[in-house]
Structure 1
Amino acid sequence: MSNDATIGDAGHEPESPPPEVPRLLPPTALRVECDPACLGFSTTSELEPLSGFFGQDRAAHAIRFGTGIRQPGYNCFVLGPAAAGGQRAIRAFLCERARAEPAPDDFAYVNNFDDSRRPRALRLPPGRAQLLRNDMQELVGELGISIPSLFESEEYKSRRRAVDEAFENAQEKALEALETKAGSQDIAILRTPMGFAFAPKENGQIVTPDDYRKLPRDRREEIGKKIEALQDELRSALEKIPQMDKERRKQIRSINNEMARSAIKVAIADVYEHFKDIPAVTSFLSGVEHDLVENVELFLKPTGTQEDEPAASTVIPARDTRLRRYAVNVMVSSGDCSKDAPRVAPVVHEEHPTLANLIGRIEHVSHMGALLTDFTLIQPGSLHRANGGYIIIDALSILRQPFAWDALKRALRTEVIAVESALDQMSLTSTTTLEPEPIPLSIKVVLVGDRQLYHLLAGLDPDFPKLFKVQVEFDDETVRSAENLALFSRFVANVIRDWKLRPFDAGAVAALSEEASRIADDSERLSLHTSRLADLVRETDYWAGEAGATTSAREHVEKAVAEQTRRADRIREKAHEAVARGIVLVDLEGEKIGQINGLSVLSIGDFRFGRPTRITARVRMGTGKVIDIEREVELGGPIHSKGVLILSSFLATRYALDEPISMAASLVFEQSYGGVEGDSASAAELFVLMSALSGLPLRQSLAVTGSINQLGEIQAIGGVNEKIEGFFDVCAGRGLNGQHGVIIPASNVKHLMLRREVVKAASDGRFRIYAIRHVDEGIALLARRAAGERTCEGAFPAGSVNGLIEEKLRTYAQLRRRYVTGAAIGKTGDDKIDA
């Protein structure tokens, strides 16, 4: 590469050949091509499925450690970009691991017969909870038939009849004795609807009221005294009847219990036999048996006059709400152990981690205007379903839900699941509720979030580092090696198999790998944003189908990429159209002093594009201040302002070191109406200031990107591909003339993955890309003149860019001294006049 080709064009030779030679990049450096032949297959149908993590060795090691260690607090936080597919990969790993682990124990809530507000939690071997529930349903159904039949039997009726007759006989005997005594005193006891009444008798006949009033007074008084005494005796006898009736009911209840106990013992024996190996269940069944005996009337529909006595009845259905006290509320179960289906550790993905969805809830039913509940209305949460296994939760989602984050931490800290209500915590309701016994918790929680959220939690929540000790970080990219290309091909094959797509030929996979490098912004890396790559695979299959192809090829991948861009590039088209129509002023030809084309990147969601921006500078004598107009109007961010201060420092420490800096300069992004952030324009800003100071025009056919340090070295920037392509599109819109190009940092060459049309234009000599390492290389290329190096005498060569700049700064210093001296003399003269 000759100096003429890289520094100046014919007729514009610099005064002396510059020592700096910017590198004109060959087309092969602008894009890495993948040879389909090196992939070693014809189509993806030949490839073995990919298991495990693609390019995520660090994350794979961390998740294996986090799920392998069984100490408390070693839960996992998966951090990385959402497009990296970490959540999907983690779930696949957990499902694979869960298949090798035993199923956890079952848990069920049952009635606490001592305190119904505090239901008991039963722990059973895997699959046994459903059996217990079924057995209890059968028991209640069986008793609903056998107990009514028992109380309709002749044996029961005869025994009850005997008790009733004994009671009636005792009652009648007491009344007969009183009647005999009253008869001996000529007093009759009358039974009326209102109770008992006494009446005197004469000659065996009851005295009428009229006759009674005709009796002598002393006779009436005598009769009254007898009746009064008899009334006392009657009252005493009647007071004994309730006690006698109580004894009757006690004897009947004893008969009921005796007969029910035998029936219940026979019915419940099978349940005891099924669960004799589980002490907690046998204890529960003992309570059930006792309660059944005490409440046998629950199975009967009373027909007698006594409300509290069982009698001949109609069968009560087992689903009757009064019998729910004997139900079993299965909270979590591994299935029916009588079946041969494999039981493994659970893996639960909680999509909506509210408080109720996490730890469960207690439902209520409305009854006569009141809200009632019981243990059968306790509903499990995802922690119950994942108990003994794994649960995946989106970190941002749980933090957005009231009380959910605290509840999760409390469950992990205490290692139990306690069902609670958000309304109870806020004291918004006063309904009857329950206090279920907490269920032991053994679980691995996997939170998924981005890096910023992880570091915020680690810094602001003191509980977080204690409970989530395993950091599972997913990388954004991996090395583009032969081994990783093979894994990448198998990843593509996995997506195709999972979604039942057309196979990709080797050329399509090669094109997809090139796009993966472009997404990574690095020709030496492959993007690990598997979600985004999987989308591209599916879209490629669609366009292959539209073309009637049976196999997806390179052109279909390129079509999918182009269509993705087309769907999102409305703003880019408008921005480039504004330049083409002259609304946004950008010069692409000629030379201008104090003017240059900078490059910026705009992001709209996942879509990024570059566009040129005119940067101008003006200088004059001053006090050495460089005014960043963007910062002055609060449109410039801190990083951009830092870049301006660095270039100011570079100027101050490189030129006229024996003179004070005496210039005043201003820098601005023309027609920029939004915020400006980043230091990728600091090199362009320095070049435009050097042009304004030296008086040398800069080539407008070239755009510049790159940041600068205080040593004058050009540093790497981001979005280099989008910036180059943005300037290329604008130049192509006006017509490429062979002089258009972009100057980039040499350290960004490895990031180049330009569109094929840009590479083609470079191959044809219609577009050029230069790589520079130092500011002198860039200014020499832009100003078509050697930058110049200091000689051994300490001066820059006359006529070089640096020499002209230093000369101008010395001139400003002299003017400033002259101005300051003149101002001082004028002030002294004024003082004399005032005196």
Structure 2
Amino acid sequence: MAASVAPLNPEALYRRCEPAELPFQTTADLKDLHRIVGQERALDALEFGIGIRRQGYNLYALGPGGTGKHTIAFGFLQQRARAGEVPPDLCYVNNFEVSHRPIALKLPAGRGSKLQSEMRGLIEDLRVAIPAILEGEEYRNRRQLIDETTKSRQAEVFERLQADAQPKGIALLRTPMGFAFAPVRDGAALSPEDFQKLPEAERKRIEADLKALQDELEEALRKFPTWERERRDQARELDRQVTSAAVASGIAVVKDHFRDLPDVLAFLDAVEKDIVDNADAFLPTEGESQGMPGTPRLSPAVRDRFRRYRVNLLVDHTHQVGAPVIYEDNPTMPNLVGRVENLAELGALITDFTLIKAGALHRANGGYLMLDAQKLLVQPYAYEALKRALRARQITIESPGQALSLVSTVTVEPEPVFLDVKIVIVGTRDIYYLLAAQDPEFNDLFKVAADFDDDMPREGEAVLAYAQLIATIGRREGLKTLDRAAVARLIEQAGRIADDNQKLTTRFGDVADVMREGDYWAGKAKREVIGADDIEKAIDQQIYRSGRVREKSLEIIDSGIVLIDTAGSKVGQINGLSVLSLPNFSFGKPSRITARVRLGRGEVIDVERRVELGGPTHSKGVLILSAFLAARYASDQPLSLSATLVFEQSYGGVDGDSASSAELYALLSALSELPIDQSFAVTGSVNQFGQVQAIGGVNQKIEGYFDVCRHHGLTGKQGVLIPSTNVRHLMLRRDIVEAARNGQFRIYPIETIDQGIELLTGFPAGAREDDGKFPKGSVNRRVEDRLIALAQQRRRFGAGGDNGAETGQGGRT
């Protein structure tokens, strides 16, 4: 009996874009496209996420690679940022009270660099003015007076002690160990031997006098440190007096420029006090004063004695227009939150506030920061540091070593900075859903998802906008102009990439790649305009470069190593179709599926699952077809078969349910003992009601089987059964369309299992009649009769069932 399903017309296999429908001759006639097409949902999300200034409303732009989400989001941010306010400059300055905790200063844009230059000029002026004052004659006279006063007090003590000691025959002597008293005779100190020769009474008198004088000396010497402290205090006060005027006048000039900034004035007051207190630091060192070659080379920290007065300008917005938009390509933890660098000093690492470096959060503060999700997550502690900053709304500079208490090096703790930034993370959907499911903080911090679509409708206005986009990409890339036939071919390819003849891909990166390669081939052929042939060659060459594995697969089928029949008929055997996906290329591959049945306990055994080569989706498909068998043919009796399904010569994993209809056909053939025409290959999943459902990769699957048939020889009977719901996805190669037009190859749209089994076996499927039975001679009647016979046979065997048949559950497709 002839099948009721007709093959598809060749026009249904590929939706052409007729060049005559495009209202231009070349892309030179088209204006640039200044709007973004096909991403209205994502653009609305971007506008909302950027516009709402509430905590937690950061964005995650998700979508497949090549959709331009990074370029679109970054351009959108730049456009919105132009109207934003320029954020303040950020400086770190020395904390003169707690030196390891530098102070953060915020100044209006441009004034941070002014403060930095003003402080540099002030110190340079004071390095000249203070030494001039401290080396002046007046200063030296006053300083000499202070020193001489102290010396005279000390001298008076020694003179008085000497005067007290002389009448007693004792002298005050200066020794390497200090001052000491000793008995003298005739102007010379007695040796210990001579002293012992003195009469005992005299010795005792001298010893008593020595002790009294020594006690008096020690009492006097205890006053010397106090007098020395007083001398230093007087000298320091003198320094303050003579330098304060010069310092105050210099600081006053700087203060005049920052009267409106209290924090800056407080810093300048602290600088003034510190300079006055440490005026002697401005005197030249010995090496500096001599200025001679061969002077020992000093480290930067020692050589620059005025680092403490520097201004570390961390973020300078002098030339900034609008709010900043920053993209951090390497989002390590230090690159995000900043870092404190170190200098090697005598074998140790030292640091100070001048070695604080800005992170991306500092540079983007007051604006927008864009990050790549995958790059962020692979960097240790970077994601946690970002979340911590967003939660606290402040940037705390901390190294990973500090966070883990692994570093004992002396470091600084910069004052945290208030954070006001909008974060945009760009990444795949997989990462977004993983973070949303596994990180409880993610949804609170990234409340807005800008979901970039994979495709857009293929309609009249959209097609013209797509052509404009092609022209815009070409001009931006500096490519040759394209004629309208080339544009039409690109639009067709965009439908092919989208796997839908009603859609166009928004993975513009893939389209741009074809354009660049078409430009190359046009240039090689010395053509000034890119034509359809150049685009066609670019597409063919892309396939050729990636097609080694596909060619090897065809080769082993042609050589008979992998068994695939494309002619004849076999019971319980069918050609199933699968897709092999490589990183940049996918292709279809036919596989032989076989089914065997015998008496059993109602099991459909999936061999792939038993050997752990089948995935869960494949297992689901096998269980569904088991349910279909039981519901259709054994609703009032036990299902008494043991069936095995296997992908022959499959040595890798199998997943997906797209082969479940093919497995069911093979099982029905084995039960009915009706052979299946091996000219056909089948794809499609099945539900419990026997409806054939859509699958993915339909174009690659058809092309994979067609290539095998072409190698074996096209007979005119070969074809592929696909779900009717997949017809809209057909964008097949032109050689297949031509073969279909010539009657050499056919594509059949299938809606139900009954339609498919009729086409494959040539026998009617049969529907239940009024008596509840299927018509005699139909496939369904044969299957039901076989199952009834198996049930009766099982009853004869008794409860033992199939005498040792396997008891496992069925598995994966």
Instruction: Determine the structure 1 residue equivalent to 2:703.
Output: 725
Cα gap change, 1:265 to 1:687, in 2 (>3 Å): same
Aligned residue among 693, 697, 703 for 1:715 = 693
- The Cα offsets for residues 531-587 of structure 1, whole Å up to 9 and x where unpaired, read as 222222222222222222222221111111111111111111111111111111111
Cα gap change, 1:539 to 1:322, in 2 (>3 Å): same
Query: What is the CA RMSD across the aligned residues, in angstroms?
Result: 3.1
Provide the secondary structure at the position in 2 that maps to 1:406: helix
Instruction: Determine the structure 1 residue equivalent to 2:353.
Output: 375
Tell me if the contact between 2:485 and 2:531 (Cα under 8 Å) persists in the aligned partners: yes
Q: Distance in 1 between matches of 2:241 and 2:300?
A: 23
After TM superposition, give the deviation of residue 373 of structure 1 in Å.
1.6
Instruction: Determine the structure 2 residue equivalent to 1:694.
Output: 672
- The Cα offsets for residues 777-807 of structure 1, whole Å up to 9 and x where unpaired, read as 2222222232233333333332232333333
Provide the secondary structure at the position in 2 that maps to 1:383: helix
Which range moved further: 215-224 or 462-471? Answer: 215-224
- The Cα offsets for residues 635-679 of structure 1, whole Å up to 9 and x where unpaired, read as 222222222222233233333655543433322222112222112
Are residue 272 (structure 1) and residue 255 (structure 2) matched?
A: yes
After TM superposition, give the deviation of residue 30 of structure 1 in Å.
0.5
Instruction: Determine the structure 1 residue equivalent to 2:590.
Output: 612
Cα gap change, 1:85 to 1:177, in 2 (>3 Å): same
Q: Distance in 1 between matches of 2:33 and 2:123?
A: 53
Are residue 259 (structure 1) and residue 233 (structure 2) matched?
A: no
* Alignment of structure 1 residues 409-424 onto 2, 5 Å: 409-424=387-402
Instruction: Determine the structure 2 residue equivalent to 1:400.
Output: 378
Instruction: Determine the structure 2 residue equivalent to 1:74.
Output: 57
Aligned residue among 419, 432, 437 for 2:415 = 437
Are residue 480 (structure 1) and residue 455 (structure 2) matched?
A: no
Q: Distance in 1 between matches of 2:760 and 2:163?
A: 141
Instruction: Determine the structure 2 residue equivalent to 1:456.
Output: 434
Cα gap change, 1:223 to 1:689, in 2 (>3 Å): closer
Which range moved further: 530-539 or 656-665? Answer: 656-665
- The Cα offsets for residues 109-159 of structure 1, whole Å up to 9 and x where unpaired, read as 111111101111111111221221121112222211221122122221222
Are residue 537 (structure 1) and residue 515 (structure 2) matched?
A: yes
- The letter for the 2-side match of 1:756 is R
Aligned residue among 744, 768, 771 for 2:749 = 771
- The Cα offsets for residues 512-533 of structure 1, whole Å up to 9 and x where unpaired, read as 1111111111100111122222
Cα gap change, 1:222 to 1:793, in 2 (>3 Å): closer
* Alignment of structure 1 residues 19-168 onto 2, 5 Å: 21-168=4-151
Provide the secondary structure at the position in 1 that maps to 2:481: coil
Tell me if the contact between 1:141 and 1:318 (Cα under 8 Å) persists in the aligned partners: no
Are residue 334 (structure 1) and residue 312 (structure 2) matched?
A: no
Aligned residue among 325, 349, 364 for 1:347 = 325
Tell me if the contact between 2:184 and 2:190 (Cα under 8 Å) persists in the aligned partners: no
* Alignment of structure 1 residues 221-236 onto 2, 5 Å: none
Which range moved further: 741-750 or 226-235? Answer: 226-235
Tell me if the contact between 1:200 and 1:206 (Cα under 8 Å) persists in the aligned partners: no
Cα gap change, 1:818 to 1:703, in 2 (>3 Å): same
Q: Distance in 2 between matches of 1:652 and 1:244?
A: 112
Cα gap change, 1:700 to 1:228, in 2 (>3 Å): closer
Q: Distance in 2 between matches of 1:191 and 1:769?
A: 120
Q: Distance in 2 between matches of 1:629 and 1:330?
A: 69
Aligned residue among 584, 595, 599 for 2:573 = 595
Q: Distance in 2 between matches of 1:292 and 1:821?
A: 105
Which range moved further: 648-657 or 56-65? Answer: 648-657
Q: Distance in 2 between matches of 1:121 and 1:573?
A: 65
- The letter for the 2-side match of 1:717 is I
After TM superposition, give the deviation of residue 164 of structure 1 in Å.
3.3
Instruction: Determine the structure 2 residue equivalent to 1:491.
Output: 469
Cα gap change, 1:687 to 1:173, in 2 (>3 Å): closer
Provide the secondary structure at the position in 1 that maps to 2:540: helix
Instruction: Determine the structure 1 residue equivalent to 2:424.
Output: 446
Provide the secondary structure at the position in 2 that maps to 1:448: strand
Instruction: Determine the structure 1 residue equivalent to 2:810.
Output: none
Instruction: Determine the structure 2 residue equivalent to 1:513.
Output: 491
Q: Distance in 2 between matches of 1:74 and 1:140?
A: 46
- The letter for the 1-side match of 2:61 is V
Tell me if the contact between 1:349 and 1:392 (Cα under 8 Å) persists in the aligned partners: yes
Give the count of matched residue pairs.
790
Aligned residue among 678, 681, 684 for 2:662 = 684
Q: Distance in 2 between matches of 1:186 and 1:625?
A: 129
Instruction: Determine the structure 2 residue equivalent to 1:502.
Output: 480
Instruction: Determine the structure 2 residue equivalent to 1:586.
Output: 564
Instruction: Determine the structure 1 residue equivalent to 2:717.
Output: 739
Tell me if the contact between 2:328 and 2:370 (Cα under 8 Å) persists in the aligned partners: yes
- The Cα offsets for residues 600-637 of structure 1, whole Å up to 9 and x where unpaired, read as 11111131111211122223344433332222322222
Instruction: Determine the structure 2 residue equivalent to 1:627.
Output: 605
Cα gap change, 1:153 to 1:743, in 2 (>3 Å): same
Tell me if the contact between 2:600 and 2:801 (Cα under 8 Å) persists in the aligned partners: no
Tell me if the contact between 2:183 and 2:190 (Cα under 8 Å) persists in the aligned partners: no
Instruction: Determine the structure 1 residue equivalent to 2:296.
Output: none
After TM superposition, give the deviation of residue 682 of structure 1 in Å.
1.6
Cα gap change, 1:145 to 1:821, in 2 (>3 Å): closer
Q: Distance in 2 between matches of 1:518 and 1:812?
A: 48
Provide the secondary structure at the position in 2 that maps to 1:565: helix
Structure 1 unmatched runs, 5+: 1-13, 305-315, 336-340, 825-835
- The Cα offsets for residues 390-424 of structure 1, whole Å up to 9 and x where unpaired, read as 11222233233332222111110110011112112
Tell me if the contact between 2:162 and 2:171 (Cα under 8 Å) persists in the aligned partners: yes
Cα gap change, 1:240 to 1:650, in 2 (>3 Å): closer
Provide the secondary structure at the position in 2 that maps to 1:84: coil
After TM superposition, give the deviation of residue 286 of structure 1 in Å.
0.4
Q: Distance in 2 between matches of 1:117 and 1:73?
A: 33
Q: Distance in 2 between matches of 1:439 and 1:652?
A: 69
Tell me if the contact between 2:5 and 2:750 (Cα under 8 Å) persists in the aligned partners: yes
Cα gap change, 1:197 to 1:78, in 2 (>3 Å): closer
Instruction: Determine the structure 2 residue equivalent to 1:669.
Output: 647
- The letter for the 2-side match of 1:778 is G
Instruction: Determine the structure 1 residue equivalent to 2:369.
Output: 391
Aligned-residue identity in percent: 51
Cα gap change, 1:201 to 1:63, in 2 (>3 Å): closer
- The letter for the 1-side match of 2:26 is T
Structure 2 unmatched runs, 5+: 288-298, 803-813
* TM-score scaled by length of structure 2: 0.90
After TM superposition, give the deviation of residue 32 of structure 1 in Å.
0.7
Provide the secondary structure at the position in 1 that maps to 2:749: strand
Instruction: Determine the structure 2 residue equivalent to 1:832.
Output: none
